[in-house]
Amino acid sequence: MPADALRRRFWSVAHRGADAADALPDEGRLGSFDRATGWLNSGPLTAESLRGRVVLVGFWTYTCVNWLRTLPYLRAWHAAYADAGLTIVGVHTPEFGFEHDVANVEARTRALGIEYPVALDADYGVWNDFANHYWPAVYLADASGRLRYHHFGESDYAMTEMAVQQLLMAAGAAEVDLGLAQPQAHGLEVAADWSTLRSPETYLGYGQSDGFASEDAAQYDRPRRYSVHPELPLNAWDLAGEWTQTRTAAVLHEAGGRLAYAFHARDVNLVMGPSVPGTAVPFRVLLDGQPVGDAHGTDVDEGGHGLLDRQDTYQLVRQRGRIADRLVEVEFEEDGVELYCVTFG
């Protein structure tokens, strides 16, 4: 929305007060949390127990970079509006197998500074009750339990926050601050540079893979020795060394294995983990065959060195200059590595 239109909407909230909530549509009732498989930061919550509070339900999974880039706003809204009557419920619905591990989710919840309640949704029960299809997704309910607003994906933070403000005032909250959050983001939480982004999210398991230069359906689920094609076109990728491409991941069987990807973006991120939880595998990142230098991401140093010690999203590259077609390579010093998905920003 253009800045002047957003400003007019903002001032309409400030001057009309609680009546502004009438402009939001009625989208049905707040879904049930009965099929949550567990809870973090809270005992079990229900739609009935939340009656009287404005509720923001946010679907997430901890490796999703699109959700990670919304997290600074969720933390800021929790800090700004919890005392005024807002409850944020994060619904963690896992995408990858390791995201079903409660210990992994607990650790990342703490590390990411999430203090609001989290419903664990290992069986997709809450996801299905909301008829949801996306990470991230936001559903906003008023104090009577009616859904009044939803948003899928990134962006529109100001509109979401103004909807929160409207519903809080309609519920009788006093002195709601009508300023808009301007959170400071770091690392993976920094918004993508959409103007230079030319590379798509790419899965490395054959169930959803695209762009694999050495794709061979006859070799699925069995070890195979690969070598990187000498000329990878933009958004193509390849492997070197002995790997097995499974439905969900590329699994490395020997030291020195390598992933290469021809990309065009500011950032390169890789969802990966050790095959045996609790172990650690050193790796190195190169750009166009050279040490990554000052284009290193938060999970590697200037020499491109990093340590794979958890199942998570790792930021490998954040370029600070002109964005052009580049080749990123990730080489692992030991075997026992699982690569799931490459994302960009």
pLDDT at 255: 98
Listed in order, the ranges of the chain carrying CATH 3.40.30.10 are 3-189
Q: What is the mean pLDDT of residues 70-83?
A: 98
Neighbours of 129 (CB within 10 A): 17
pLDDT at 10: 47
pLDDT above 70: residue 331: yes
pLDDT one-digit tens code per residue, 233-272: 999 999 999 999 999 999 999 999 999 999 999 999 999 9
Question: Sorting pLDDT into bands at 50, 70 and 90, what band is 222?
Answer: very high
pLDDT above 60: residue 186: yes
Residue 118's alpha-carbon distances to 42, 59, 168, in angstroms, are 7, 10, 21
pLDDT above 60: residue 15: no
Q: What is the mean pLDDT of residues 194-211?
A: 97
Question: Sorting pLDDT into bands at 50, 70 and 90, what band is 1?
Answer: very low
What is the percent of the chain with per-residue pLDDT over 90, rounded to a whole number? 90
pLDDT above 50: residue 115: yes
The CATH architecture assigned to 3-189 reads 3-Layer(aba) Sandwich (3.40)
Computed from CA positions of residues 73, 78, 79, 85, in that sequence, does the dihedral angle turn out positive or negative?
positive
Question: What fold, for 202-344?
Answer: Jelly Rolls (2.60.120)
Q: Which two tokens stand for residue 82?
A: 């919890």
Determine whether 196 is exposed, middle or buried from the number of CB atoms within 10 Å of its CB (0-12, 13-18, 19+): middle
Q: What is the mean pLDDT of the chain?
A: 94
pLDDT at 175: 85
pLDDT at 18: 53
pLDDT at 277: 92
pLDDT at 20: 66
pLDDT one-digit tens code per residue, 21-66: 777 876 789 988 999 999 999 999 999 999 999 999 999 999 999 9
pLDDT at 22: 75
Q: What is the mean pLDDT of residues 205-212?
A: 97
pLDDT above 50: residue 202: yes
Listed in order, the ranges of the chain carrying CATH 2.60.120.260 are 202-344
Write the single-letter amino acid at 243.
Answer: W
Q: Give the integer Cα–Cα distance in Å for 336 and 308.
A: 10
Neighbours of 212 (CB within 10 A): 18
Nearest residue to 345 (alpha-carbon basis) of 24, 68, 48, 8: 68
Q: Contact, 329 vs 345, CB < 8 A?
A: no
pLDDT above 90: residue 163: yes
